Amino acid sequence: MKNHLKALRGERAWTQAQLAEMLGVSRQTVVAIEKGKYDPSLPLAFGIARVFGLPIEKIFIAE
């Protein structure tokens, strides 16, 4: 699944480690999601949307 996670994170000047800490996951999980190698669980996807204050549709792109 494609996403805008890296760009959104960059706009806020957050590191992958900072985002991972906010989400309660490892930095490697954030890296894998950003690269499209890992699709987050629904609860994690909603957590990501909550952290960015955006609707989930603005972050993730269905292919």
Tally of structural domains, the chain? 1
CATH number at residue 35: 1.10.260.40
pLDDT of 63 > 80? The answer is no
In angstroms, what CA-CA distances link 56 with 2, 26, 53, 63?
12, 21, 9, 15
Mean pLDDT for 1-12 is 96
What pLDDT is recorded for position 23? 98
CB–CB of 36/3 below 8 Å? yes
The conformation of residue 15, written as its DSSP 8-state character, comes to -
Percent of the chain with pLDDT over 70: 100
Per-residue pLDDT of 29-49, as tens digits, reads: 999 999 999 999 999 999 999
What pLDDT is recorded for position 27? 98
Domain encompassing residue 54: 2-61
pLDDT of 10 > 80? The answer is yes
